[in-house]
Structure 1
Amino acid sequence: MTSRPILSVKNLTTSFLVDGHWKPVVRNISFDVAAGETVAIVGESGSGKSVTSLSIMRLLAANASRMEGQILLDGRDLAALSEKEMRGVRGNDMAMIFQEPMTSLNPIFTIGRQISEVLTRHKGMNAAEARSETVRLLEKVRIPNAKSRFDDYPHQFSGGMRQRVMIAMALASKPKLLIADEPTTALDVTIQGQILDLIKVLQQEEGMSVLFITHDMGVVAEISNRTIVMLRGEAVETGATEAIFNRGQHPYTRALLSAVPKLGSMAGRRLPMRFPTVDIATGVSVEPSEERDTVAKKGPILEVKNLVTRFAIRSGLFSRQTGAVHAVENVSFDLRAGETLALVGESGCGKSTTGRSIMRLIEPMAGQVMLDGYDVRSLRGADLRRMRKSIQMIFQDPFSSLNPRMTVGAAVAEPFIKHKLGTRQQAREKAADLLERVGLSSAMMNRYPHEFSGGQRQRIAIARALSLDPKVIVADESVSALDVSIKAQVCNLLLDLQESLDLAFLFISHDMAVVERVSHRVAVMYLGEIVEIGPRASVFENPQHPYTKKLIAAVPVPDPARRGVRRGISNDELKSPVRPVGYTVPDRSYREVSAGHLVQMADSGL
C-alpha cells in the first residue's frame, strides 16, 4: 500500500480576469508530490509554472483570479479553507521561497526579528526562545557568525546570504512542503551551487517535500526526482527526471534539452560553435558545424593596458574619503577583429565596470585604452562621440535600455541621426535593414517595446547597437535574463553577425556554459583583477587558478545521474573589494601555462 502524497493537485485551472473575461493561464494540470520527494516544474517565461505555485499557496488576488480543481495538502482541501485558515497553513504546513529575496524581506526590520516573528506567530514561542531558535536556523543554513548577524538588516547581506535567510524563514515552522520558485535564477553560479547543495542537505535532514520551479534544465537534473514540463499553461510531459532527460517524448521537451549548453561539450574544439537549432513543433534538432576562423593573423582592434577604476567612499560630516572600491585593478588584455573575448566572474568582480571604463561611461583612474586608432582616455567632446561609433554596448535588460515612448524603428535609427550619418529617410531605411538582419520584420518598426517579448527586445537592442557600424561590441550579460531557447537563438545571432560583419565582442557573463560555446578566449576576473586569461579551450580544459576551478565546478550539469553529487563548495561570500585610504596593491606576476594561457601567481586570498 502506497502512502498518501503530501501534495495532490487535481485538474487545476487558474484564470485571470482580462477585459471582463476569464482567461485561463493554467489549464487542467494534475500531479502529486510524495513525502521526501522533489518534483520540478520546468518551462519558459509565460508557461504558467509560477502561477501554478502561487495557486497552490493561494497567493493570487481573489478579485482578479479564479481557481478550479482540487489542491490537497496532506489530505486537506486548500480550496475549501477560509483566508484565516489559509494563513495558518502558510508558513506552518507549507512555505515558499521566491526568486528575489530582497523583495520578500522587509528592509526596515532586522533579519533576526523577521525570522523570530514566524516562530512567535506559528509556534507560540516567547522572545528568548524565538531568538535561540532563529540563531540555530541561521547556523543550519550555513550563515557564518549567525549569533552576531541576528541584528543585521537585509541590505547588509549579499544576494546569496539573503536567499539563505529566506530558506531559514521558510524552515522555521518545519513545513511538510517547501515551494521554491526560481530560488537560484538571480544568483551567481557558485552561490547557486551552494543553495542547491543546501536545499538537498536540508531536505534529507528535515524529510520535507520540495516543489521546485525553474527554467534551468541543469538545475532540474541536479535536484529533482520527477519533472513536469509546462508549455503555454499545460503540462505537456511528466515523468521521472532521468526518463525525461534520456527519453523525452514531447517535441518541446527535446527542444528545451537541446538548447541547454552543456559544460564540456566543446572539448577538443578550438573555435566557437552555434547552438543546435530545434523545431519546437517536431523536436528535430540540427547540430551546427564549428565556426570558420574569423580571427587568424589580425592585429588588435582594442588594447587595454594596466586599467584602474576605483570609486571613492566618503563618510563623516565633511565627506572625507575613508576608502575606495578597487573595482578594476591593473587589467590588461587585447581584442582582435572577429574575436570574442569573454570576461567571466561573479557579481562585484569588476567585469561590467571594465566594459564601461573602456567606453568612458565610467572614468578610469589610470591605464591606457587604444581603440581602432583612438587613445580613448585622452578624448574629449566631439572626438569622444566619434570614438563611440567604433564601440557599442548591449545591456542585460533591453526593456530598460529602450525608450518606452519611442517606436522600435525610431530607437534603432536614433544613433544614426544623432551622429549625422545621413538623412532621416536613410536612417529609416537602415533601421528596416537592421531589424531584418536580426531576425525581425521591418513591418514591426512602428510598434513599441512593450509589444515585444524579452528575446525580441534584445534583438532590437542588438540592431540599435549595429546602427553605427561599430567594430567592437561590449555585450554586458546580454543573454543572462533570457529563457534557455531564446538565449540559444540570440547567441547564434551574435555569432552570425560576427561572421558577416567581422565584429569583435567583449562578452561579459557569469554563465560559464554559454561562455564555453561562444568565445575564442576567456579572462577570469576576481576582486577587480584578471587571475587567468587564455584560449577558451585551454582555460576550460586545463584551469589553473583556484577561482577558475571553483567557477567551473559550480556549473549545474544537465545529467540526472549527478543528483546525489555534493560539490563541497565553500560557503564563504565573495570578499570585499573595499580598501582603506593608502592601500598599496601587491605586485602581481603571471606564469605562462601554454601559448597565450597566463595565470596569476600571487595569492588572491582564495
Structure 2
Amino acid sequence: MIVLRTVWQPTEDRATRMTKPVLSVRDLTTSFRPDIYSPWTPVVRNIGFDVAAGETLAIVGESGSGKSVTSLSVMRLLPPRGSRIEGEIRLAGRDLLALPEQEMRKVRGGDIAMIFQEPMTSLNPMMTVGEQIAEAIRGHLSIGSAEARQETIRLFEKVRLPNAKERYDVYPHKLSGGQRQRVMIAMALATRPKLLIADEPTTALDVTIQGQILDLVKELQEETGMAVLFITHDMGVVAEVADRTLVMLRGDVVEDGPTAEIFGNGRHPYTRALLAAVPRLGSMAGRALPSTFGLIDTATGSRGAEREAAPPVADKPAVLEVKNLTTRFAVRSGLFSKVTGAVHAVENVSFSLQPGETLSLVGESGCGKSTTGRTILRLTKPFSGTVLVNGQEVGATDREALKSARRAVQMVFQDPFASLNPRIPIGASIAEPFLEQKLGGKAEARDKTAALMHRVGLLPTMMSRLPHEFSGGQRQRICIARALMLDPKVIIADEAVSALDVSIKAQVCNLLMELQESLGLAYLFISHDMAVVERVSHRVAVMYLGEIVEIGPRSAVFEAPQHSYTKKLMAAVPVPDPSRRRMRRNTEVEEIKSPFRIPGFVPPKSVYKEVSKDHFVQVRC
C-alpha cells in the first residue's frame, strides 16, 4: 500500500540554511559560433539566480530554451573553442569563471555534482558500477581501495539500491533504468557536494521509478543540506520538488519566484501555457469521453476551448482483434547454446479495438506493452495466439496477408529521429511506404505527401528538408504523416509522446484526436504516462509482467481501480500541486520481478472477474 505522509522539518534550521547562497549567478550570457569566422550567437542571455543550502531551484522550459546550456555553463563543460561564457558564477564565494582548468576539475565532482538525463550514456559499460563510483571517490578523497569499496556500498544503501553488496560487481547493462539512475545519484553524492545539478533525471523513467527517485532526492537533501538545481520540463515534478522556479523561453528568463506563486498566479503567458498543457490525473473525472487539451496562446494569453472526442463506432465489427497472444524469447547459454529458459514477454493477452476507439496499454518498462504492439505487426514472432485485422488473420507465412495487414495497421515510435533516415529528405520518407506498396506513381505520392503535411500542421514547402532541421514535435508530426500515407485503420502509438516537451505533447495529442475524429482511426496507445492516458483514452488495459491485470472503460479504471498494481501506478504520478512538496509516497524499493522462466514452465491460469460493466480485473485460480 502506498501512503502519502508529510515530512516535518525544523523551520528555524531550514530558514537558517537558506540565507546564504551556495551558488550565485549574475548576468550569465553563453554564446556559440561554428567557426572563428562566424559571429557569436548568444543562446542564454543575462541569466541571474541564487541557490541556497537546502534549497531546490527548478529551471523549466521547453527544449531549446537554454536550461541545459545554463547548467553546463555553471560546470564549465562547454567546448572552449566554440563557446563563450560571460558574467559571474560564484560557488560559495569562489568565482568559477576565473579558476584555471586544473582547479575547476577539483570542483567538478567535488563541490558540484551532476546527474544527467540518460544514465546509460554516463556510465562506462566496460566497468562495474561499483568500480566507477570507487574510482570517483579515490579521485577526490585520499582513501584506499578497501575503504572506497565500503563507502561505495554505503552509498548504494543510502540511495536504496536493493542488494547493495552484490550490485558492486554488476555491469550497467544488467541494471534497470531506475537502478542505473540510483547509481548515478550515488556517484553524485560520493564526494558530499555542496551543489547537485539534476538535468532531466527522471524524464526517461517509468512513473513508479520516477516517484521513488524524486522522494530519494528530497530525503537526501534533507539529510545533507545540499543545494539542488533541478532542470526539467515536467511541471508536475517541479511542483513536488522545487522551493523556487525559474521559467526560461528561448534563452531568456521570463518569470522567477516561489513555486507556489508561479503555479497559483503565473503572470507570463508562456508560464500559463506550460501549466495549461500539464495533464492532471483526475481532471477527467465524471467525463465519459476523451477530451482535447485547452491550450493557451503564448502571444495573447487566451485559452482555447477543450473539445470532447467522438465515441467509438459500436455497431461495426472490430477493426483489430487479439486473442490469447503469447510472445516468448528463448534464452540460450553454454558452449552449444542450449536453451536454458525463456523470457515470457507477453502472456495470453486478448483485447479488441473498434473503429474510432483509443485503447491504451499502460505499465512499466518490461511489462510487455511494446512487444505486444510489435507482435501485432509481426515485427516480432509470436509464440502462440491470433491477430485479426478487419476479420482477416495475420499469418507470418502468408506474405500478401501480412502486407495487407501492415497497410491497415501502422506504427508511430517513441523516438522520431531514430525512425527517420537522416540522409533522406522528409518528403521522400513520408512517400516511401506509398511507393513501396505500389499504390500509385511518384506524382500521386508527392501530392498526397503535401496534403498530409498540411494536415499535420507542417508546410509542404518543407519536404526537401532533412530530419535534423526540425524540432522534436515537428519530427513526430512527420512520423504521423508517414503512418497516414497508407490510409490505415489502426495506428499503434508506441510511447509516441513520452519524449516530447509538455506543450508539444499536448499539441500532438490534440492532433491525434482530431485525426481520429475526421478519419475514423483506431489507436492502440502504448504509454506509461497515466495522466496523458486518462486524457486521450476510451478504454485502458493495465499490463504487468506480460499479462493484462485490469481492463475496462477509462472512467472505470481511473475512478475505481481494482488491481493493486493499477493503484500503485496512479499513486506514483507527480501532481502539479506545490502543496504536496513535503509529501512522500512510501513506495517500497523492491527487486524488479523478472519475466524469465525455466524450460517447461506453465504459467498459472488466470480468470477475469467483471467488477462493473465491461470492467474486468485479473483473478488467479
TM tier, smaller? over 0.9
- The answer to whether structure 1 residue 5 and structure 2 residue 24 are counterparts is no
- How far the C-alpha of 1:379 sits from its partner, in A, is 5.3
Quick one: distance in 2 between partners of 1:449 and 1:165? 34
Q: Which amino acid aligns with 1:494?
A: L
- Give the aligned partner of residue 87 of structure 1: 105
Quick one: distance in 2 between partners of 1:119 and 1:402? 42
- Give the aligned partner of residue 338 of structure 1: 356
DSSP 3-state at the match of 2:204: coil
DSSP 3-state at the match of 1:28: strand
- How far the C-alpha of 1:121 sits from its partner, in A, is 2.0
Report which stretch shifted further, 585-594 or 105-114. Answer: 105-114
Q: Which amino acid aligns with 1:109?
A: M
- How far the C-alpha of 1:221 sits from its partner, in A, is 0.3
Matches within 5 A, 1:358-507: 358-377=376-395, 380-507=398-525
DSSP 3-state at the match of 1:468: coil
Quick one: distance in 1 between partners of 2:315 and 2:399? 34
Q: Which amino acid aligns with 1:317?
A: L
- How far the C-alpha of 1:246 sits from its partner, in A, is 0.6
Q: Which amino acid aligns with 1:73?
A: L
DSSP 3-state at the match of 1:388: helix
**Which of 225, 235, 240 is 2:253 aligned to?**
235
- Give the aligned partner of residue 331 of structure 2: 313
**Residue deviations 1:106-162, cap 9 Å, x none?**
111222221112222212111222122111111000011212221222122111111
- Give the aligned partner of residue 9 of structure 2: none
Q: Which amino acid aligns with 1:142?
A: R
- How far the C-alpha of 1:439 sits from its partner, in A, is 1.1
DSSP 3-state at the match of 2:147: helix
- Give the aligned partner of residue 77 of structure 2: 59
Q: Is the contact made by 1:158 and 1:573 (CA closer than 8 Å) also made in structure 2?
A: no
Q: Is the contact made by 2:378 and 2:396 (CA closer than 8 Å) also made in structure 1?
A: no
- Give the aligned partner of residue 213 of structure 2: 195
TM-score (norm 1): 0.98
- How far the C-alpha of 1:86 sits from its partner, in A, is 0.8
Q: Is the contact made by 2:60 and 2:245 (CA closer than 8 Å) also made in structure 1?
A: yes
For this pair of structures, how many residues does the alignment match? Answer: 603
- How far the C-alpha of 1:597 sits from its partner, in A, is 0.6
Q: Is the contact made by 1:337 and 1:504 (CA closer than 8 Å) also made in structure 2?
A: yes
DSSP 3-state at the match of 1:196: helix
What stretches of structure 1 of length at least 5 have no aligned partner? none
Q: Which amino acid aligns with 2:178?
A: G
Matches within 5 A, 1:317-328: 317-328=335-346
Quick one: distance in 1 between partners of 2:612 and 2:292? 26
**Residue deviations 1:262-292, cap 9 Å, x none?**
0100000000000112211122212313223
- Give the aligned partner of residue 235 of structure 2: 217
- Give the aligned partner of residue 578 of structure 2: 560
Q: Is the contact made by 1:294 and 1:499 (CA closer than 8 Å) also made in structure 2?
A: no
**Residue deviations 1:69-99, cap 9 Å, x none?**
0001011111110111111111221111111
DSSP 3-state at the match of 1:530: strand
Report which stretch shifted further, 301-310 or 101-110. Answer: 101-110
Q: Which amino acid aligns with 2:20?
A: R
Report which stretch shifted further, 107-116 or 235-244. Answer: 107-116
- Give the aligned partner of residue 185 of structure 1: 203
- Give the aligned partner of residue 120 of structure 1: 138
Quick one: distance in 2 between partners of 1:63 and 1:404? 27
Report which stretch shifted further, 19-28 or 291-300. Answer: 291-300
DSSP 3-state at the match of 2:25: strand
- The answer to whether structure 1 residue 514 and structure 2 residue 514 are counterparts is no
Q: Which amino acid aligns with 2:31?
A: S
- The answer to whether structure 1 residue 592 and structure 2 residue 610 are counterparts is yes
- How far the C-alpha of 1:25 sits from its partner, in A, is 0.9
Quick one: distance in 2 between partners of 1:474 and 1:185? 22
DSSP 3-state at the match of 2:63: coil
Quick one: distance in 2 between partners of 1:156 and 1:381? 37
DSSP 3-state at the match of 2:557: helix
Quick one: distance in 1 between partners of 2:225 and 2:46? 29
**Which of 11, 14, 34 is 1:18 aligned to?**
34
DSSP 3-state at the match of 1:227: strand
Quick one: distance in 2 between partners of 1:394 and 1:145? 38
RMSD: 1.3
Q: Which amino acid aligns with 2:485?
A: S
**Residue deviations 1:298-346, cap 9 Å, x none?**
3311111100011111111111111111010000000000000000111
Report which stretch shifted further, 381-390 or 266-275. Answer: 381-390
- How far the C-alpha of 1:592 sits from its partner, in A, is 0.8
- Give the aligned partner of residue 169 of structure 1: 187
- Give the aligned partner of residue 275 of structure 2: 257
Quick one: distance in 2 between partners of 1:432 and 1:148? 57
- How far the C-alpha of 1:363 sits from its partner, in A, is 1.1
**Which of 266, 272, 289 is 1:271 aligned to?**
289
Quick one: distance in 1 between partners of 2:47 and 2:214? 26
- The answer to whether structure 1 residue 69 and structure 2 residue 69 are counterparts is no
DSSP 3-state at the match of 1:552: helix
**Which of 138, 149, 155 is 1:137 aligned to?**
155
Q: Is the contact made by 2:312 and 2:354 (CA closer than 8 Å) also made in structure 1?
A: no
- The answer to whether structure 1 residue 579 and structure 2 residue 597 are counterparts is yes
**Which of 525, 531, 538 is 2:556 aligned to?**
538
**Which of 296, 299, 304 is 2:317 aligned to?**
299
Q: Is the contact made by 2:28 and 2:86 (CA closer than 8 Å) also made in structure 1?
A: yes
Question: In structure 2, do the counterparts of structure 1 residues 89 and 57 end up closer, same or farther at CA, with 3 Å as the change threshold?
Answer: same
TM-score (norm 2): 0.95
Quick one: distance in 1 between partners of 2:583 and 2:60? 21
Quick one: distance in 2 between partners of 1:87 and 1:24? 25
- How far the C-alpha of 1:378 sits from its partner, in A, is 6.0
DSSP 3-state at the match of 1:323: strand
Quick one: distance in 2 between partners of 1:9 and 1:573? 41
Quick one: distance in 2 between partners of 1:568 and 1:369? 41
Report which stretch shifted further, 114-123 or 430-439. Answer: 114-123
Q: Which amino acid aligns with 2:88?
A: Q
DSSP 3-state at the match of 1:45: coil
Quick one: distance in 1 between partners of 2:534 and 2:161? 32
Q: Is the contact made by 1:94 and 1:178 (CA closer than 8 Å) also made in structure 2?
A: yes
Question: In structure 2, do the counterparts of structure 1 residues 3 and 500 end up closer, same or farther at CA, with 3 Å as the change threshold?
Answer: closer
Q: Which amino acid aligns with 1:583?
A: F
DSSP 3-state at the match of 1:457: helix
**Residue deviations 1:426-473, cap 9 Å, x none?**
111111111111111122222222221111111111111111111111
- How far the C-alpha of 1:50 sits from its partner, in A, is 0.4
Q: Which amino acid aligns with 1:582?
A: G
Quick one: distance in 1 between partners of 2:145 and 2:467? 51
Q: Is the contact made by 2:394 and 2:401 (CA closer than 8 Å) also made in structure 1?
A: no
Question: In structure 2, do the counterparts of structure 1 residues 494 and 3 end up closer, same or farther at CA, with 3 Å as the change threshold?
Answer: closer
Q: Is the contact made by 1:535 and 1:596 (CA closer than 8 Å) also made in structure 2?
A: yes
% same residue: 68
**Which of 120, 126, 136 is 1:102 aligned to?**
120
Quick one: distance in 2 between partners of 1:503 and 1:574? 36
Quick one: distance in 2 between partners of 1:231 and 1:219? 19
- How far the C-alpha of 1:364 sits from its partner, in A, is 0.6
- Give the aligned partner of residue 78 of structure 1: 96
DSSP 3-state at the match of 1:445: helix
What stretches of structure 2 of length at least 5 have no aligned partner? 1-15
